[in-house]
Amino acid sequence: MSKLIDLTDRSSDQWIKMGESEMQTPVREKTLDFDIAVIGGGMAGICSAVSAARNGSKVVLVQDRAVLGGNASSEVRVIVHGVTKLKSGLPERETGIIEEILLLNRFCNEQHSFTVWDHVLYDYVTREPNITLIMNTQAVRAVTEDSKIVSALCWQMTTETLITINAELFIDCSGDGLLAATSGAIYRTGREGKAEFNEKYAPDEPDGWQMGATILLSSKDMGKPMPFKAPPFTIKFDADKTHTDRRIIPFVEGFWWVEVGSNNDIIKDAEVDMHRLMGFAYGVWDYVKNSGEFPEANSFALDWVGSLPGRRESRRFMGDYILKESDQLSHKIFEDAVAFGGWPLDEHNPGGIENLSQPPSFWHEHFDRVYQIPFRSLYSKNISNLLFAGRNVSQTHVALSSSRVMGTCATMGQAVGTAAALCVKKKVVPRELANNHIKELQEQLLRDDAFIPERLADDVNDLAKTANKIWASSTTSGDVKLLIDGVSRDEQGEVHHWKSNGLNAEVIFEWDEPISLSQVEIKCDTNVKKNIMMLKNTRENDAYTTIIPPELLKSMSLQVIINGDWEDYGEIKNNQKRLIKFSFDEVLTKGFKFILHDTYGAENVKLYEVRAYK
Ligand SMILES: Cc1cc2nc3c(=O)[nH]c(=O)nc-3n(C[C@H](O)[C@H](O)[C@H](O)COP(=O)(O)OP(=O)(O)OC[C@H]3O[C@@H](n4cnc5c(N)ncnc54)[C@H](O)[C@@H]3O)c2cc1C
């Protein structure tokens, strides 16, 4: 504490304004108050801040870099995977906030540029009126009282300013969790031994091994021979000794297995590792260019090389529940499920690129379907107002090997942001929310288009369920009555949609007696069985699309029955989202209808859910 307070003592720092002979001591300290402070602007932190803000809280998002996105940013350039590699080869894509972001990127960044993506994220966050975004600022220390964080002390590098952030709740989405660690929140690092959680992929004995950090690179075809001379810091890549899983082709997108882990303190080692990773990355590129094994690389040159190693693992904060391998493999049903995952158990080898004989990842198992993540793994067991989302949550090392991908981190982010906003409204801490209000949290998440596997939405306030008559102008598959069945995707082979036969199409909800109505919401189709994230090596196939999903509803209008006549109550053109909302002054009505005009290419329109509220 005392050392940090000394940081603000600038009495020996005199700022002299030339010409006016004015001299002053710079005062660079400020205090800000919020409901919720989110630390770390990676995909988990962004989704957390946006969901908390949309659910009514005053939120600050503190990010220590100049760009948002964490490992997905242009600084590191990791692809946002989630449930993208099921055994079928197809995804079970995340919806909610992360999908909104990926769709926005489709509309704004057809060129798949990482630096444009940084600003898509910036645009997305700064559109939210309830979010204050503070960049280039590291949360360095928690101030606590009675096992509760009262403030985060933050250092803004660009302004030499100590910012004290007071908040009701703190959400640590920083990956490494410096704020949470300094609050005294209990955490683990390294690998659990097999016996502790009966994990078949854990080592026999616990140890300190943590998966490593990586520097990525990309190259481009210059259309002419491009010689490459390795700089002196290059570390030779011994291709003869490497396991064949260290694949070189396609070399345009870099090598995720240029990885250095740690059996010690991966955070303390970061700067040493950065230098080694630079050497290893250039070593592999030297092999590509100069070994003679890849004549097709003759005209390729480095286009970008990362300088900030992306990290996969460090602290995991302990909650009321520790997610483990068997929960994932058995698809355990949690009463407090709020998020989901399904990336394979992709545990990287201890040693990384320094352990060439082993495969870079063991890829222990692929999942055939998704698994649930409980809310009790997303808040601290001993710091009462601390939540977390991302790779730092309460789970074992083996469980992390699957859940660390950013689409999955994003679902946790939306869950904790929504939870924190509910805590603020109800004046409770996360554990009380888990014990007494979990259904309310799940209902809000489902309404906001988060997917919770095998959990039906059952919102008592949803008037659509009370309609006496629901009908559609045409149908090719599904049933219009499925729009109120509580499931907003086709799940495990079961149909939960209605699909039109041609366009325009109409869907009508009618009541025998008038109801008060002021909001209607629909969930349309984006094809969750196709990936839409930005790739470095773009491809169009069964699992990926590089275009705006043709299934997405493009334009539609809403009519409401007023005194027996259909009246226009709203119109949407060039829609960019799966969840479409209409709000209007409350009316007494016996019905409403959607007129569905157009998609981004599909012949028919598909819907998954309709809700109505007053
Ligand atoms: C090379 C590599 C390849 C990978 N491959 C994939 C892949 O293909 N797909 C995939 O989805 N995942 C992949 N992963 C894993 C994934 O990137 C991470 O697990 C994921 O980024 C974790 O998300 P997060 O939001 O918890 O953390 P991050 O993405 O690290 O975001 C945290 C953010 O918080 C900021 N921060 C940290 N400390 C502070 C602080 N004290 N104050 C303020 N801000 C702070 C950081 O700068 C960062 O921007 C890969 C990782 C690496 C390194």
Q: pLDDT (tens digit, 9 = 90+) per residue, 297-342?
A: 999 999 999 999 999 999 999 999 999 999 999 999 999 999 999 9
Q: Determine which residue's CA is closest to atom 19 belonging to ligand 1.
A: 404
Q: What is the pLDDT of residue 22?
A: 83
Its pTM stands at: 0.97
Q: In the predicted model, what is the mean pLDDT of residues 105-113?
A: 95
Q: Which of 174, 373, 401 to mutate to test the pocket of ligand 1 (most atoms within 8 A of CB)?
A: 174
Enclosing H/E stretch for 103:
helix 97-108
Give yes or no for residue 7 having a pLDDT over 80. Answer: no
Given pLDDT bands bounded at 50, 70 and 90, which one contains residue 11? confident
Q: Whose CA is nearest to atom 8 of ligand 1?
A: 79
Partners of 310 in beta bridges: 214
C-alpha 239 – ligand 1 centre gap (Å)? 29
How many CB atoms are closer than 10 A to CB 243? 13
Spatial CA neighbour of 202 closest among 48, 61, 401, 457: 401
DSSP states of 518-570 = EEEEEEE---TTSB-S--SS---SSSB-SS--TTSEEEEEEEEEETTEEEEEE
pLDDT single digits (tens) 169-204? 999 999 999 999 999 999 999 999 999 999 999 999
**Protein residue closest via CA to atom 39 of ligand 1:** 174
The tokens for 490 are 């086709």
Residue 447 three-state SS: helix
Give the model's confidence band at 251: pLDDT under 50 very low, under 70 low, under 90 confident, else very high.
Answer: confident
Residues 42 and 61: their CA atoms lie apart, in Å, by: 10
* CB-defined site of ligand 1, < 6 Å: 39-45, 62-65, 70-71, 78-81, 138-139, 173-176, 178-179, 213-214, 216, 256, 310-312, 390-391, 404-406, 409
Reported as a single tens digit per residue, the pLDDT across 377-392 is 999 999 999 999 999 9
Give the ligand 1 atom nearest the CA of 39: 43
Q: How confident is the model at residue 25 (pLDDT cuts 50, 70, 90)?
A: confident
To test the pocket of ligand 1, the residue of 50, 67, 78 to mutate (highest count of ligand atoms within 8 Å of its CB) is: 78
Band of residue 362 on the pLDDT scale cut at 50, 70, 90: very high
- Distance in Å, CA 409 to ligand 1 centroid: 9
What are the tokens at 601? 């290419």
pLDDT of residue 499 exceeding 60: yes
Ligand 1 center to 187 CA (angstroms):
18
Q: What is the model's pLDDT at position 439? A: 98
CA 137 / ligand 1 centre spacing (Å) = 16
> pLDDT value at position 17?
80
Burial class (CB in 10 A: 0-12, 13-18, 19+), 22: exposed
Does residue 575 have a pLDDT over 60? yes
Q: Given this model, what pLDDT does residue 414 score?
A: 98
Question: 339 C-alpha vs ligand 1 centroid, how far in Å?
Answer: 18
Name the percent of the chain in helix, strand, coil, to the closest 5. Answer: 25, 30, 45
Q: Which residue, judged by its Cα, is nearest atom 20 of ligand 1?
A: 406
- Preceding peptide of 250 cis, ω within 30°: yes
Give the mean model confidence (pLDDT) for residues 535-550: 89
Within 10 A of 362 (CB to CB), how many other CB atoms are there?
16
Is the confidence at residue 61, as pLDDT, over 60? yes
pLDDT tens digit sequence for 442-488? 999 999 999 999 999 999 999 999 999 999 999 999 999 999 999 99
Is residue 4 predicted with pLDDT exceeding 60? no
Give the percent of the chain with pLDDT over 70. Answer: 99
Average pLDDT on 110-136 reads 97
Q: What is the pLDDT of residue 8?
A: 73
- Element housing 414 (H / E): helix 406-426
For position 6, what pLDDT does the model report? 67
Q: Given the CA of residue 392, which atom of ligand 1 is nearest to it?
A: 26
* The pLDDT of residue 2 is above 80: no
Looking at residue 15, its pLDDT comes to: 84
Give the position, in ligand 1's atom list, of the atom nearest the Cα of 69: 49
Tell which atom from ligand 1 comes closest to the C-alpha of 389: 26
Please, how many CA atoms are within 13 Å of residue 68, restricted to the half-sphere of its CB? Answer: 26
Q: Which of 69-73, 394-398, 488-492, 604-608 is least confident?
A: 488-492
Across 397-409, average pLDDT: 98
Q: 501 CA distance to ligand 1 centroid (A)?
A: 44
Q: How far is the CA of 223 from the centre of ligand 1 (A)?
A: 35
Instruction: Indicate the pLDDT class of residue 250, thresholds 50, 70 and 90.
Output: confident
Most distant CA pair in the chain, distance: 81
Mean pLDDT of all residues belonging to the chain: 96
> Is residue 27 very low, low, confident or very high in pLDDT (cuts 50, 70, 90)?
confident
